[in-house]
Structure 1
Amino acid sequence: MASSSSDISGKWTYRSFHNDPKLVGDNQKAALDLIFAEANLSFEPVSSTDFLGWLDWTGGGMDLKGSMTQGSPDTPVAFSIVGYGRPGTSTDGWEYAYNGCLAYTWPNGDRQVPALVGTIVRVKPHSGKPAGYTASFIAVKA
Structure 2
Amino acid sequence: MAERIDYFEVAKEPLKAMTKVEQVLHESSIEFELREMVKLRASQINGCAFCVGMHTDLLRKKSVPQEKLDFLPVWEEASCYSSRERAALAWAESVTLLAETKVPDEVYEQTLDHFSEQELVDLTWCIAAINTWNRMSVAFRREPEKSA
Question: TM-score, normalised on structure 1?
Answer: 0.26
Question: TM-score, normalised on structure 2?
Answer: 0.25
Higher relative contact order (CA 8 A, sep 6+): 2
Q: Which has the higher strand share?
A: 1
Q: Which has the higher helix share?
A: 2
